[in-house]
Amino acid sequence: MKQFIIRRLLIMIPVFIGISMIIFGLIHSTPGDPYITMLDPNITEADREAMLNSIGYYDPLPVKYIKWIERAIKGDLGYSIRYKEPVADVISRRIGNTLLLSVTALVLSVLIAVPLGIVSATKQYSVFDYVATILALIGLSIPAFFFALGLIKVLAFDLGIFPISGIETTGANYTGMKRVLDVLHHMALPIIVLTFVQTASLMRYTRSSMLEVIQQDYIRTAKAKGLSERVVIYKHALRNAMISIVTLISLSLGGLLSGAVLTETVFVWPGMGTLVYQAILNRDYPLVMAGTMLLALCVLFANLLADIMYAVVDPRIRYE
Amino acid sequence: MANNIANKSSNISKVQGEEGTSLWKIGAKRLIKNKLAVFGIVVLSILIILSVLAPVITPYDRDETNLTNTYQKPSKEHWLGTDELGRDVFTRLIYGGRVSLSVGLVSTSISVIIGVLLGAIGGYYGKVVDNIIMRIVDIFMCFPFFIMAITIAAILGPSIWNVMIISGILSWPSIARIVRAEVMTVKEREFVEASKALGLTPIEIIFRHILPNVLAVVIVYTTLGIASGILSEAGLSFLGLGVKQPQPSWGNMLSAAQNLRSLRLHWWLWVPPGLLVFITILSINFLGDGLRDALDPKLKH
């Protein structure tokens, strides 16, 4: 097991370098000079050149890349051009908000989707199965941001049940329990959107992997030896179906973190998605670089986690 | 004697030819029995006809503005009202279908070409070649899709071609993975060994003998890929990084909802394009599921 994890980690190194090189190359080929707004407009052209030179603006791309990697490994992610403070500080303020949304949505969707998928599979072709499958297909097909816009229009504007955007009431300065309730109130709509979309794919997946397992011979054997339906489904079938379900859950964590850009933008949620999106529009290179790398790393580790989980829950997988 | 053999082999190929078509015929029959898939085909056909015949269907010009007639509610003259420049929303909606559907098709073609080629090469050759291709796949799979799309869109600038390229280039890895896995199993079969023994080149073996066996899977994933191409267009254009005005697309029509006043008061500007994206993707998913059940015997219950 230890060897397996170490080997997986070693494979991650070239992948990580590849990701960082491509992202770095991309970001540094965006047109325009981001420092133009940062410098005092009264300084002379020569001074400006000297300053740009000193921060390495004219270095060739590979040199810039190596400098960035060197500093990043030491924990120095650079200085945000727009926020005028270290990138690490800006990100640490935002990442919690994104985690709050995506982890809550993931937990809720697992709690909803797995039981629904099991019932749907055990009662295949029933009305319940039909309704659940259609609902799941709707969830897979609706653009999350369009669903979000619809909810804002109906529930926030027309009915006034939920706030339109943001994470808390601006200017209210609530503390303690009141603040928690306020944030929960603001969270409701984005959580509904993310959970619905996530539940749809997870439910479909649970259903199909349960169906696959239920048709196997050992399930028939278990039924034939007189075990109750309940024991057969939950003890024998579910355990095996869980192997692929667990993998999908850890894979979707990465997707949730990086995929929430549009949902966050629509709800003006101060998370990583809106931060990186704004940074791209503002050509805030250091922030875009660190933010994108961080999200890619999350996906990379989620994939690793999926691989490890798969190996842990499935004893048939040999690690050598 | 030689004549006899030639006769026999032509008979054999005739029989095989018939079996070949009948396999697809069985698939088509199964597909037609699937109600949801038929629903998908019908809806998609209607949408395609509407967007192709757009100039015939609507009396208005796509970009015809009328500043005295802005933000009109749906009426007899304007079925879906007018927008901030007084343009007819229904007209722009069916013209927008041209853009959104073709973005889906072209971007998927790009990703299928790259994915099938790399997947087949990796699966067939294995070893170092496969290892390198799979690491590239790993790299692309880790990219936060939407953020990469926005970054590339910011570099290339907003245009319909760039949306196609971005979506195509970012979504080939999943097809490559699937094709690779299929090729790896197909290449162990006897007929591949026979082709090798006959002295066919690897390119001939891959294109003439292996890929036709992988076609069913590729068709299913191409269908589903079109849906994600349309979704990426909608998302990018919604953020103003996709198809540029005045050319209408469902995505950039949706961006009317970025304006809070329009979101609240002018539903006819953003609900119809959103619903069309939704219905299109739903139909494609129905069709894709139907195709999978019809063409992939392994998943037959």
* Distance from the B188 Cα atom to the nearest Cα atom in chain A, whole angstroms: 22
Determine the structural domain holding residue A147 and report its residue range: 91-313
Statement: residue B16 has pLDDT above 70: no
Share of chain B above pLDDT 90, in %: 34
Nearest to B257 among A149, A261, A277 (CB): A149
Measured distance CA(A11)–CA(B136) in Å, rounded: 12
Q: Of A273 and A257, which is predicted with more confidence?
A: A273
pLDDT (average), residues A9-27: 86
Looking at residue A320, what is its pLDDT?
Answer: 45
Rounded to whole angstroms, the Cα distance separating B215 from B178 reads 11
Signed CA dihedral, B50, B53, B58, B62: sign only: positive
By the 10 Å C-beta count (0-12 exposed, 13-18 middle, 19+ buried), A217 is classed as exposed
Q: Where is the domain boundary, A13, A47, A73?
A: A73
Say if residues A191 and A183 touch (Cβ distance below 8 Å).
Answer: no
Q: What is the CA radius of gyration of chain A?
A: 24
- Report the residue from A29, A137, A143 with minimal CB separation from B274: A143
Chain A closest CA to B231's CA: distance in Å? 7
Q: Give the distance from residue A148's alpha carbon to the nearest chain B alpha carbon, in angstroms.
A: 11
Q: Which of A73, A103, A127 is the last residue of a domain?
A: A73
Whole-Å CA distances, A253 to A297, A298, A303, B181: 12, 8, 9, 25
Nearest to A141 among B235, B270, B281 (CB): B281
β-partners of residue A61 are none
Tens of pLDDT, residue by residue over A204-241, are: 889 988 888 888 888 888 888 888 888 888 888 888 88
Q: How buried is residue A201: exposed, middle or buried, by Cβ count under 10 Å (0-12/13-18/19+)? A: middle
Would you say residue B112 has pLDDT above 60?
Answer: yes
Give the tens place of pLDDT for each residue, A39-70.
Answer: 666 777 777 777 777 766 777 788 888 888 88
**Closest Cα in chain B to A160:** B264
Residues in chain B with CB shorter than 8 Å from the CB of A164 are 260
- The beta-strand segments (E) located in chain A are none
CB atoms within 10 A of CB B122: 25
Query: Which token pair is B68?
Result: 């005295």
Answer whether residue A19 is part of any domain. Answer: yes
The SS3 call for residue B165 is helix
Quick count: other Cβ atoms within 10 Å of Cβ A54?
A: 9
Size of interface A-B (CB pairs under 8 A): 123
B105 touches A at CB < 8 Å = no
Q: Quick one: pLDDT band at residue B13, thresholds 50, 70, 90? A: very low
Contact A137 B141 (CB under 8 A): no
- 8 A C-beta contact, residue B242 and residue B233: yes
Dihedral Cα A198, A199, A202, A206, nearest 10 deg: 180
- Same domain for A122 and A267, yes or no, is yes
Question: How many whole angstroms separate alpha carbon B128 and alpha carbon A217?
Answer: 39
Distance (Å) from the alpha carbon of A31 to chain B's nearest alpha carbon: 7
Cis peptide before A86 (omega within 30 of 0): no
With contact defined as beta carbons under 8 Å apart, do B265 and B86 qualify? no
A191 shares a domain with A273: yes
Residue pointed to by tokens 């994939």: A303
Same domain, A96 and A165: yes
Closest approach of chain A CAs to the CA of B78, in angstroms? 23
Mean pLDDT of chain B: 85
pLDDT at A34: 63
Same domain membership, residue A282 and residue A143:
yes
A113: its two tokens: 């989707």
CB-CB under 8 Å, A258 with B144? yes
Asked whether the predicted pLDDT for residue A285 surpasses 70, the reply is yes
Structure tokens at B260: 């809070």
Say if the Cβ atoms of B278 and A143 lie within 8 Å. yes
Q: Which residues pair with A86 in a beta bridge?
A: A79
A138 and A232, same domain (yes or no): yes
Residues in A closer than 8 angstroms to B135, CB to CB, are 11, 14-15, 18
Both tokens of B162, joined, read 């760039």
φ and ψ at residue A161, rounded to 5 degrees? -75, -40
Tell me if A295 and B144 make a contact (CB, 8 A cut-off): yes
Same domain (yes/no): A47, A111: no
CA distances from residue B189 to A291, B195, B288 in whole angstroms, order as listed:
47, 10, 28
Average pLDDT, chain A: 84
Q: What does the alpha-carbon distance between residue B186 and residue B210 come to, in Å, rounded to a whole number?
A: 7
Which residue shows structure tokens 């007189």? Answer: A226
The minimal CB distance from A15 to the residues B142, B257, B263 is found for B142
User: Which residue in chain B has the smallest CA separation from A158?
Assistant: B264
Residues of chain A found within 8 Å of residue B145, distances taken between Cβ atoms? 258-259
Angle of helix B211-238 versus helix B267-295 axis, rounded to 10? 170
Residue A80, domain member (yes or no)? no
How many Å separate Cα A46 from the centre of its chain? 45
Across residues A7-32, what is the average pLDDT?
A: 83
Q: How far apart are CA A135 and CA A140, in angstroms?
A: 9
Distance of alpha carbon B95 from alpha carbon B53, whole angstroms: 9
In angstroms, the Cα distances linking B247 to B55, B244, B253, B263 are 14, 6, 10, 21
Other C-beta atoms within 10 Å of A210: how many?
26
Task: State the amino acid at position A257 in one-letter form.
Answer: L
Q: Mark whether A188 and A309 lie in a shared domain.
A: yes
Q: For residues A251 and A292, state if they share a domain.
A: yes
Does A318 fall in a domain?
Answer: no
Cβ contact B79:B272 at 8 Å: no
B193: its two tokens: 């060994």
Q: Is residue A97 part of a domain?
A: yes
Q: State the total domains in chain A.
A: 2
**Chain B environment of A152 (Cβ under 8 Å):** 263
For residue A272, give the chain B residue with the closest CA. Answer: B147
Count of beta carbons in the 10 Å neighbourhood of residue A307: 18
Q: How confident is residue A193, by pLDDT bands cut at 50, 70 and 90?
A: very high
Average pLDDT over residues A144-161: 91
Structure tokens at A67: 């400098």
pTM of structure: 0.86
Please report whether residue A319 resides in a domain: no
Per domain, the residue ranges of chain B are: 21-64+76-299
What pLDDT is attached to residue B21?
61
Residue type, B30: R
Considering A295-309, B79-93, B220-234, the range whose residues carry the highest mean pLDDT is B220-234
CA-based nearest distance B10→chain A, Å: 42
Closest CA relative to residue A297, chosen from B143, B65, B293: B143
Give the best residue of A141, A207, A208 to mutate against chain B (max B CB count within 10 A).
A141
Q: Is the pLDDT confidence value at A185 over 80?
A: yes
Chain B closest CA to A117's CA: distance in Å? Answer: 17
Residue pointed to by tokens 């922030």? A287
pLDDT number for residue B233: 92
Residue B158 tokens read as: 């907003």
The alpha carbon of residue B116 is apart from the nearest alpha carbon of chain A, in Å, by 21
- Whether chain A has a CB inside 8 Å of the CB on B210: the answer is no
Asked whether residue A226 falls in the same domain as residue A150, the answer is: yes
Contact A306, A247 (CB under 8 A): yes
B21-64+76-299 adopts what CATH topology? MetI-like fold (1.10.3720)
Nearest CA in chain A to B156: A30
Residues A151 and A208 in one domain: yes
Is the predicted pLDDT of residue A296 greater than 90, yes or no? no
CB A144 within 8 A of CB A181: no
- Mean pLDDT confidence for B4-33: 61
Residue with the bigger pLDDT between B146 and A59: it is: B146
Scanning B46-65 for CB atoms below 8 A from A yields: none
Q: What is the pLDDT of residue B301?
A: 38
Residue A81's nearest CA partner among A90, A73, A71 is: A90
Residues A150 and A227 in one domain: yes
Residues of A in contact with B144 (CB under 8 A): 257-259, 261, 292, 295-296, 299
CATH number, domain containing residue A180: 1.10.3720.10
In chain B the first and final C-alpha atoms are separated, in Å, by 47
Amino acid at B18: E
Residue from B60, B65, B62 nearest B84 by CA: B65
Which segment of A187-196, B67-76, B97-106, B190-199 scores lowest on mean pLDDT?
A: B67-76
Under a CB-based contact definition with an 8 Å cutoff, are residues B220 and B151 in contact?
Answer: no
Backbone angles phi, psi at A109, to 5 degrees: -70, -35
Give the rounded percent of residues in chain A with a pLDDT score beyond 90. 16
Interface probe for A, chosen from B47, B146, B277, B282 (most Cβ of A below 10 Å), is B146
Selected residue of B142, B150, B265, B286 to mutate for chain A interface (largest A Cβ count, 10 A) = B142
Cα gap B94→B98, rounded to integer Å: 7
Amino acid at B291: L
pLDDT tens-place string over residues B123-141: 998 889 999 999 899 888 8
Say whether B142 and A19 touch across the interface (CB within 8 A). yes
A113 and A68 together in one domain: no
* DSSP reduced 3-state for A283: coil
Cα gap B133→B176, rounded to integer Å: 9
Quick check: B20 pLDDT over 80? no
Phi, psi of B101 (to 5 degrees): -65, -40
Minimum distance, in Å, between the CA of residue A176 and any CA atom of chain B: 31
